[in-house]
Amino acid sequence: MTSRAPLRIGIAGLGRLGWRHAENIAYSIRDARLVCACSPVRTELEAASSRLGVERTTTSFEEMIQSPDIDAVVLVTPTSLHAEQTIAALEAGKHVFVEKPLALDVADCERVQAVAARHPGLVAMVGFVRRFDPSYREAHDRLQRGAIGKPFFVRSQTCDLNDPSGFFVQYAAHSGGLFMDCSVHDIDLARWMLGNPRAERVYATGTIAMHPGLAKHQDVDNGFALVDFEGGGRAAFYASRTFAHGHETQTEVIGTAGKLLVGHGAARDRLVTSDAQGTHHASVADFFERFENAFLQEMTAFVSACRGETALELTLADATEASRIGQAITRSLRSGQVERVLQP
Q: Which residues bind ligand NAD (CB under 6 A)?
A: 12-18, 38-41, 44, 61, 76-79, 81, 99-100, 127, 129, 181, 287
Q: Which is nearer to ligand NAD, 181 or 248 (CB)?
A: 181
Residue with Cβ nearer ligand NAD (44 or 339): 44
Q: How far is the CB of 176 from ligand NAD (least distance, A)?
A: 8
For the beta sheet containing 95-99, the strands, ordered from the edge strand earlier in sequence to the opposite edge, are 56-58, 32-38, 7-12, 72-75, 95-99, 124-127
Alpha-carbon dihedral 29, 30, 34, 35, rounded to 10 degrees: 180
Q: At residue 102, what is the residue type?
A: L
DSSP 210-262: S-GGGGGGT--SEEEEEEEEGGG-EEEEEEEEEESS--EEEEEEEETTEEEEE
* Residue (186 or 228) nearer to ligand NAD, CB: 186
C-beta closer to ligand NAD: residue 41 or 215:
41
Q: 333, 321, 289, 316: which is closest to 179 by C-alpha?
A: 333
| Shorter beta-carbon distance to ligand NAD: residue 37 or 148 | 37
Nearer to ligand NAD, 3 or 59 (CB): 59
Closest distance to ligand NAD from the beta carbon of 31 (Å): 22
Q: Could you tell me the smallest distance in angstroms from the CB atom of residue 320 to ligand NAD? A: 16
Residue 186 CB, shortest distance to ligand NAD, in Å, is 11
Sign of the Cα torsion 169, 174, 178, 181 reads: negative
Exposure pattern of 232-243 as b/e (b: 16+ CB <10 Å)? Answer: ebebbbbbbbbe
Comparing every residue's Cβ against ligand NAD, the nearest one is: 15
